[in-house]
């Protein structure tokens, strides 16, 4: 029996962002560290253009989208790219380059963790 497993090794930066950071808001006061982590995610969604882009990716066919798929938010393509990068840095989107384009996909585990943080354990169902 071997301890070696062929599991993919996650990028530590991604793992930190994706890990559910915090208890439900109603359970106990957040520590400074928990608040830093969670506030970073909320802040990323706290800009109207970024939130529209995030919902455009999240609701796109197949659950992913590239800049080439997003044209109706009223901002330039470089601005779209900038915001998608910010959402990725906050751990809300994952990305993968395929050919010419970078495709973005929502991290469902992060949304679930944020939802649970807001509404308590009942949202985990």
Q: Which two tokens stand for residue 21?
A: 């950071």
- Cβ neighbours, 10 Å, residue 88: 19
Q: Which residue has the tokens 């109603």?
A: 26
Phi, psi of 65 (to 5 degrees): -155, 150
Shortest distance, CB of residue 16 to its own copies, whole angstroms? 16
Applying the rule CB under 8 A, the residues between 68 and 97 that interact with its own copies are: 72-74
Shortest distance, CB of residue 92 to its own copies, whole angstroms? 10
Rounded Cα distance, 20 and 56, in Å: 24
Q: Which is nearer to its own copies, 1 or 125 (CB)?
A: 125
51 part of the interface to its own copies, by CB under 8 A? yes
Phi, psi of 17 (to 5 degrees): -70, -35
43 part of the interface to its own copies, by CB under 8 A? yes
Given 30, 67, 79, 105, the residue binding its own copies (CB under 8 A): 30
54 part of the interface to its own copies, by CB under 8 A? yes
Cβ neighbors of 69 (< 8 A, separation 6 or more) are 56, 60
Q: Which two tokens stand for residue 119?
A: 């509404």
Q: Which two tokens stand for residue 60?
A: 């796109």
Q: Near its own copies by CB under 8 A, which window of 1-9, 10-18, 40-48, 75-83?
A: 40-48
Q: Which residues bind its own copies (CB under 8 A)?
A: 25-32, 35-36, 38-40, 42-52, 54-56, 58-59, 63, 72-74, 106, 111-112, 114-116, 118-119, 122-123, 125
């Amino acid at each position: 029996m071997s301890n070696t497993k062929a599991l993919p090794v996650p990028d530590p930066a991604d793992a930190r962002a994706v890990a559910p950071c915090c208890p439900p808001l109603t359970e106990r006061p957040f520590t400074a560290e928990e608040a830093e982590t969670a506030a970073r995610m909320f802040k990323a969604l706290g800009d109207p253009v970024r939130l529209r882009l995030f919902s455009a990716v999240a609701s796109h066919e197949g659950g992913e989208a590239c800049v080439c798929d997003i044209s109706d938010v009223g901002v330039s393509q470089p601005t779209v790219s900038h915001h998608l990068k910010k959402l990725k840095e906050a751990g809300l989107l994952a990305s993968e380059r395929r050919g010419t384009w970078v495709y973005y996909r929502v991290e469902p585990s992060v949304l679930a963790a944020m939802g649970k943080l807001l509404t308590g354990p009942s949202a985990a169902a």
